[in-house]
Each structure stands twice: as structure tokens, then as C-alpha cells.
Amino acid sequence: MIIGDIMKKSITLLISLILLTGCGNNKDNNQTQDNSNKEPVKEEKKVTIVNTESDQRTYAVMINNHKAARPQSGLQEAYIVYEFMVEGGITRMMALYRDNASAKIGSVRSSRHYYLDYVLENDAMYFHWGGSPQAYSDMKTLKIEHADAVGSVFWKDKSLNRATEHTAFTSTEKMTNYVIDKKIRNTTKQPLLLEYTTDEIDLSSLPDSKIANNISIKYSNYQTVGYEYDNLNKVYKRSANNKPSTDLVTQNQYTVKNIIVYDLKYSTIKGDTSGRQNIDNIGSGNGYYITNGYATPIVWEKTSRSSQTVYSYPNGKEINVNDGNTFIQVYPTSGTLTINE
């Protein structure tokens, strides 16, 4: 009887253990099942054209765009490039650099006074080789921090088959070293000019938007800028006077993600025998924002020389731009803008 009782108790204990183990396994299985149903944590996308969390100060560099100075170098690494007309109907660019390095930028050319307004709106350190009388006067009045033809910042590439005025270059490393050596402020509290998004912007549904596969911007009889949309890579390929705009070092054609284009009144400075220009850029006007194969109307507004230009949709909402470089094309009212499918 005692043995029988022991056996019964042993069997009962064994059954209890089995049941407990089974329950434990079910719990583990349920936990595994619960975990498998949880959505994976998505990594937050970050803007790559600039570090939006950085307080690094922008460097603004004057870029030669005379036909004898092409191809240029280093424009692909700039996060914004402005293009205005100067005397003689030619254009000149000002390229902005902040977080992306470039080993050869140029060729570097002289300043004109209205570019200073866009140096100020980006709180930039300014790099140039020479300048007009009014540019030098305004740099002093506006207290623009700048480096002009400084040997430690620029070099002449004598290997190029060009006139010497088309051979000056710099790099982000040389500019940074100059700023550090001279103890110039290298941080900023000013927000970026444009608001970037990592979600691809689709302009097609906005009122008055239109397909923009080919863009032509005629500044003068001397200079026409063109953009052709590359649907595969979702960028625009840049050209100048119907020839691809290529990089001197990489030989790749320049590509652009965002284009902002509008016209201003240009006029020759009274008494300037070289035909240097003024621009009427304080106020507001209409233009286009172009990206991903579509163009949509926008309104620009600039209230002073130092204030940031605000770009908005007609309903008053400020635009965001796609993560990528931006060319700001400001052509004269005497020029023409053509946007085709």
C-alpha cells in the first residue's frame, strides 16, 4: 500500500510538472508571437546635403562663369548656388559650402556688390578674387568678413590652358584653415535659408503646377542656362549655351535637385563705363520652384539687404525643398524663362 501510494504521488507530481512546463512553453511562444507582431523601429532619415543640426558657418565663394573659365570645379558639393548676371551679359555664380568637402573649387572670380546681400542672408564668410569699387565700399560699410586673393587660401592652376584670371582655385580645407588661423567666427546661430525634407516632394497636385522636363533661362544673348530632367535619378542635368556643364576634376555633368527661378530688374550703374549692374532685389515678386519633373508658382520676398529671402507658395505657406542641392537662378526681366514638357 505504501509503495502504491508513493507511485500515485510520483505520477501526480510528474503530470503537474508536465502541465507547468507546457504552460511555460505556451507563454514563451506567446511572447515570441507577440514580438514578431511588433513593427520594426524605423530609422529617422536625415538630410544629407547639409547637417541641419550643425552650427557650422557657411562659406560663400565667387565662381567664374565666363566661357573661357569653363569647366568649373566643385559646384556639385555646394548646397546652394546663386547665379546672377553681371556686366557684358555674362553671369557669375556664388556657391555656398558648409558640411560637404570639396578639394578644388573655382575658378574664383571678383565680387559685385549685390552678391553681398546673399552673403548676409546666409551669414557667410566670403571668399573672392578682386571686386568692383562698389563691392569694396559695401563690404566695408556692411562689415562683411571676407578673404580677397589671399595666398594661403587660393592657388593658380598653371596647368590649365586659360588666361590667368580664369585659373584661381580654393578648397573647403584651405578656407577652414584660414578661418581658424585668423580666429574668425566659424559658427552661426542663423537658420538655414531653406527648409529641407527627406520625403520626396510631389508638386504635381498643386494648383497651376506643370510638367517641367526641359527648362531654358535666357539671361542675355551671351548666356542661356538649360536643365533637362533625368527621370531615373530624379535630378536635372545642367547645361550652358546648349553644352553640358561638367566638372573640371570628375568630368561628370552637374546635376541639380532643386531649382528656384525668378526675374529681377537689372540696370547699368550710372557713370560706370564697364557696364556694371544694379539689381532691384528688395521687395517681392513671382517665380517658380522646380523639382522632380514639375514646376509650381512661388512668391519671393526680401525686406532688406541682410534679411533672408522667403520663398512661399501663393497661399502664403513657405516652401520646403527636397534633400539635395539648389540652384537659384535670378535672370533679368529682359530675359526669358521657358518651361517645357
How does DSSP assign 170-191, residue by residue? E-HHHHHHHHHHTT---B--SP
Per-residue pLDDT of 100-124, as tens digits, reads 999 999 999 999 999 999 999 999 9
Rounded to the nearest integer, the mean pLDDT of the chain is: 91
Greater confidence, 20 or 42? 42
Q: CA 281 to CA 330: how far, in whole Å?
A: 10
- Judged against a pLDDT cut of 70, whether residue 11 lies above it is answered with no
- Judged against a pLDDT cut of 70, whether residue 331 lies above it is answered with yes
Cα 225 off chain centre by = 18
- Judged against a pLDDT cut of 80, whether residue 25 lies above it is answered with no
Could you give the 3-state DSSP secondary structure of residue 127? strand
Pairing of the two strands 255-256 and 326-332: unpaired
Q: CA 326 to CA 233: how far, in whole Å?
A: 16
- Judged against a pLDDT cut of 70, whether residue 238 lies above it is answered with yes
Q: Could you say which DSSP state residue 85 is in?
A: E
- Judged against a pLDDT cut of 70, whether residue 263 lies above it is answered with yes
The type of residue at 294 is Y
Q: Do residues 262 and 287 make contact, with C-beta atoms less than 8 angstroms apart?
A: yes
Structure confidence at residue 44 (pLDDT) = 81
Locate the domains of the chain by residue range: 59-340
Greater confidence, 8 or 253? 253
- Judged against a pLDDT cut of 70, whether residue 137 lies above it is answered with yes
* Residue 39 banded pLDDT, cuts 50, 70, 90: low
Q: CA 340 to CA 211: how far, in whole Å?
A: 7
Q: Do residues 108 and 61 make contact, with C-beta atoms less than 8 angstroms apart?
A: yes
Q: CA 268 to CA 84: how far, in whole Å?
A: 14
Say how many C-beta atoms besides its own lie within 10 A of residue 168's C-beta: 24
Structure confidence at residue 42 (pLDDT) = 67
Structure confidence at residue 43 (pLDDT) = 74
Identify the CATH number of the domain defined by range 59-340: 3.50.90.10
Cα 118 off chain centre by = 14
Say how many C-beta atoms besides its own lie within 10 A of residue 262's C-beta: 21
User: Quick one: average pLDDT of 188-192?
Assistant: 96
- Judged against a pLDDT cut of 90, whether residue 4 lies above it is answered with no
Distant-in-sequence, close-in-space partners of 239: CB < 8 Å, separation ≥ 6: 225, 226, 227, 228, 245
Structure confidence at residue 289 (pLDDT) = 98
Share of the chain above pLDDT 70, in %: 88
Structure confidence at residue 6 (pLDDT) = 40
Could you give the 3-state DSSP secondary structure of residue 134? helix
Structure confidence at residue 27 (pLDDT) = 44
Q: Do residues 93 and 55 make contact, with C-beta atoms less than 8 angstroms apart?
A: no
